[in-house]
Amino acid sequence: MTDKHPLDTPVLIVGGGPVGMTMALCLAQRGIASYLVELRTAETLPDVKCNHISARSMELFRSLGISQDLRAAGLPDNYPHDVSYRTSTLGQEIARIHIPGRNTRLTDHSGPDGHWPTPEPPHRINQRYIEPILRRHVQKQSLITCLFRHQVVSFTQDEHQVAAQIQNLDSPGSPTFNLTAAYMVGCDGGRSMVRKGMGAKLVGDEVVQRVQSTCIRAPQLIAHMKAPPAWAMFTVNPRRSGNIYAIDGQEIWLIHNYLREHEADFESVDRDWAIRTILGVGQDFDYEVMSKEDWFGRRLVSDKLQQGRVFVAGDAAHLWVPYAGYGMNAGLADAANLAWHLSAQIESWASPQALLAYEKERHPITEQVSRFAMDHAHAMSQRRRDIPPNLEDSSPEGAAARAAFGQDLYDLNVQQYCCAGLNFGYFYDQSPVMVYDEEKAPDYSMGGFTASTVPGCRAPHFWLAEGRSLYDELGKAYTLLCFKPGHETSVACLTEAAALAGMPLKVLEVPDTVHVPPEYQHALVMVRSDAHTVWRGRELTQKGARELVSVLCGMP
């Protein structure tokens, strides 16, 4: 920030959904104030959209002191978080992916994601529960000023600041007022005014799939199920395919009906018929429509994430079909990443050039994840076209068809619902504030990854003590992990260089009694507060330490 232009706030965040609130909380954790401008009231609940917080997002919320509150909310304690494939919601189950429920999530190590190397496994919870929890934590923060029922209608920027014109929506005839900030972040969704104001464009595939979504109240549904209930229950039969998500685990459900290629538009499909066919119920079954929406699944990524002092994150930066739950979760990763880079600027220890790292780090990831999601959407569309016509037959041939098709669905979908690769495998290989070496980061898929300390990768997790994770001990900027004795000179050189640059540095001596993953082969590993490795080595001279700090501060 500059003394020549007094500012109202260091950061102006446009949009108070999960991404915007998480960014504000990340900044506040560093002692940085922000304004949060949101169209809705403080009491408005969101639509029943996102249904999943990934492990990486739960790790982030753990660092913010929110993970326990989130894990205590959502579905009932004993409600299964499984994913079930059936001939209808009330029909025969043909496959089930086991995912521990809330009361066994931290103790059940069976199943395809029970052994993940993280202090915070994923949590199945609807956005209707997520937002009120985040909002309570936001409103506790004196550093966060919330402007509910307000809208940023336009903005300008120069080399010193961003000036936003804001309208009070409860006083539509009143004049707008100005807020000035060092930086502005658009977390304002797929129709983002901020993205449009930046001159950025969404690029990709406009239509990947078409979906009718209906939130219903049906308290008697569970009692009629042949198979145990699950968090997600997919219907596959020759007449209609769709899926239903448990919102409260009792009576509220979200149903997705996937339109087929020959169906011209949303109006060509009778919503009630589709719902009853997906559920497997007749006209005598009563349900209440709470809300409904018709939407297109897309694969669109903004062609730029930054223009000067203005940025976009979350749905403002990328839109894709919600496979693997990586719409909101990718946005949360954007928020944590950008908050880190903005903090380095506001704390005045990083070069302005270091801000380029946000786009260079996050843009390739959004491209990769969007293609994973799109490819999976296409694969599932093909499965819906290939449903065996005898799937519901009571004959031996029908049983064989169910067994084979169920296994195929399990193998395809376990990678999106237990997506270790998307959680732990992605890496930053183009960042200007990381020091790369000769080793390349290992490839990853949606479902699989190889742990690595290659710069840009997520530092492999390990426990330092009972209930105390490596990630719990990371400093607010950089942490030097020291694994072997005899590195006092290197530490002294780095500590001196960091102090001269004003770069926050924490030194963490890892006791030899700690079980360290085999990927840690270097005596010294530098890790950012977002758990990404930025450098590794065996020793540092004074010259090497100064050069390392220079790069980490964005001054190569």
Q: Which of 433, 430, 427, 432 is nearest to 458 (CA)?
A: 427
Please, which pLDDT band fits residue 322 given cuts at 50, 70 and 90?
A: low
Please, which pLDDT band fits residue 461 given cuts at 50, 70 and 90?
A: very high
State how far the alpha carbon of 513 is from the alpha carbons of 122, 384, 517, in Å: 29, 52, 12
Q: Looking at the structure, do residues 433 and 534 belong to the same domain, yes or no?
A: yes
Q: Look at residue 198 and tell me if it is in a domain.
A: yes
195: domain CATH number is 3.50.50.60
Q: Looking at the structure, do residues 355 and 477 belong to the same domain, yes or no?
A: no
Please, which pLDDT band fits residue 262 given cuts at 50, 70 and 90?
A: confident
Q: Look at residue 367 and tell me if it is in a domain.
A: yes
Structure tokens at 281: 């119920």
Torsion of CA 377, 381, 382, 383, to 10 degrees: 100
Tens digits of residue pLDDT in 499-536: 999 999 999 999 999 999 999 999 999 999 999 999 99
pLDDT over 70 percentage in the chain: 97
Q: Look at residue 162 and tell me if it is in a domain.
A: yes
Q: Looking at the structure, do residues 65 and 173 belong to the same domain, yes or no?
A: yes
Q: How far apart are CA 380 and CA 365, in angstroms?
A: 23
- Is residue 486 packed enough to be buried (19+ CB in 10 Å), middle (13-18) or exposed (0-12)? exposed
Residue type, 159: E
Q: How far apart are CA 373 and CA 376, in angstroms?
A: 5
Q: Look at residue 267 and tell me if it is in a domain.
A: no
User: 356-385 and 396-417 helices cross at what angle (nearest 10)?
Assistant: 180
Tens digits of residue pLDDT in 468-477: 999 999 999 9
Candidate from 43-57, 73-87, 202-216 with smallest mean pLDDT:
202-216
Structure tokens at 471: 């990630």
Provide the CB-side half-sphere exposure for 457 (13 A, CA). 25
Phi, psi dihedrals of residue 191, rounded to the nearest 5°: -95, 25
Q: Looking at the structure, do residues 353 and 467 belong to the same domain, yes or no?
A: no
Q: Which of 487, 494, 482 is nearest to 539 (CA)?
A: 487
pLDDT of the residue at 1: 40
Q: Is 488 helix (H, G, I), strand (E, B) or coil?
A: helix
More confident residue, 506 or 386: 506
The pTM (predicted TM-score) of the whole model is 0.94
Q: Looking at the structure, do residues 190 and 316 belong to the same domain, yes or no?
A: yes
544: domain CATH number is 3.40.30.120
Q: Looking at the structure, do residues 443 and 532 belong to the same domain, yes or no?
A: yes
Over 70: is that where the pLDDT of 76 sits? Answer: yes
**What is the DSSP secondary-structure string of 493-505?**
HHHHHHHHHT--E
Please, which pLDDT band fits residue 300 given cuts at 50, 70 and 90?
A: confident
Q: Looking at the structure, do residues 432 and 498 belong to the same domain, yes or no?
A: yes
Q: Looking at the structure, do residues 536 and 469 belong to the same domain, yes or no?
A: yes
> Would you say 314 and 195 are in contact if contact means Cβ atoms under 8 Å apart?
no
Task: Please count the residues of the chain.
Answer: 556
Q: Looking at the structure, do residues 46 and 140 belong to the same domain, yes or no?
A: yes
Q: Which of 323, 344, 371 is the last residue of a domain?
A: 371
Q: Look at residue 259 and tell me if it is in a domain.
A: no
Residue type, 252: I
Q: How far apart are CA 323 and CA 328, in angstroms?
A: 11
Question: What single-letter DSSP state applies at residue 231?
Answer: S
More confident residue, 258 or 66: 66
Q: Which of 371, 399, 419 is the last residue of a domain?
A: 371
Look-up: residue for tokens 């202090």?
119
Structure tokens at 247: 């919102």
Tally of domains within the chain: 2
More confident residue, 329 or 369: 329
Q: Look at residue 501 and tell me if it is in a domain.
A: yes
Q: Looking at the structure, do residues 361 and 437 belong to the same domain, yes or no?
A: no
Q: Look at residue 280 and tell me if it is in a domain.
A: no
Give start and end residues of each alpha helix (H) in 347-386. Answer: 356-385
Please, which pLDDT band fits residue 456 given cuts at 50, 70 and 90?
A: very high
pLDDT of the residue at 260: 82
Largest CA distance in the chain: 81
Tens digits of residue pLDDT in 410-423: 999 999 899 999 89
Q: Is 297 helix (H, G, I), strand (E, B) or coil?
A: strand
Q: How far apart are CA 216 and CA 544, in angstroms?
A: 62
pLDDT of the residue at 2: 42
State how far the alpha carbon of 310 is from the alpha carbons of 192, 359, 442, in Å: 13, 12, 33
Enumerate long-range contacts of 59-63, CB under 8 Å, 24 or more apart.
Answer: 59/118, 59/119, 59/120, 59/471, 59/531, 60/22, 60/26, 60/332, 60/333, 60/336, 60/530, 61/120, 62/119, 62/120, 62/469, 62/471, 62/472, 63/29, 63/471, 63/472, 63/474, 63/529
For residue 342, give every residue at least 6 positions away whose Cβ sits within 8 Å of its Cβ, in sequence order, or none: 10, 11, 27, 32, 183, 185, 355
Q: Which of 448, 469, 471, 451 is nearest to 460 (CA)?
A: 451
Average pLDDT over residues 112-135: 94
Please, which pLDDT band fits residue 133 given cuts at 50, 70 and 90?
A: very high
Q: Which of 371, 395, 411 is the last residue of a domain?
A: 371
> Would you say 489 and 429 are in contact if contact means Cβ atoms under 8 Å apart?
no
Q: Looking at the structure, do residues 193 and 307 belong to the same domain, yes or no?
A: yes
pLDDT of the residue at 3: 46
Q: Which of 66, 63, 62 is nearest to 30 (CA)?
A: 63
Q: Look at residue 216 and tell me if it is in a domain.
A: no
Torsion of CA 185, 188, 194, 196, to 10 degrees: 150
Average pLDDT over residues 210-235: 95
> Would you say 376 and 414 are in contact if contact means Cβ atoms under 8 Å apart?
no
Q: Looking at the structure, do residues 365 and 453 belong to the same domain, yes or no?
A: no
Domain, as residue range, for 309: 9-71+122-202+299-371
Q: Which of 165, 174, 56 is nearest to 118 (CA)?
A: 56
For residue 119, give every residue at least 6 positions away whose Cβ sits within 8 Å of its Cβ, in sequence order, or none: 59, 62, 461, 463, 469, 471, 472
* Mean pLDDT of all residues belonging to the chain: 93
Structure tokens at 474: 């990371």
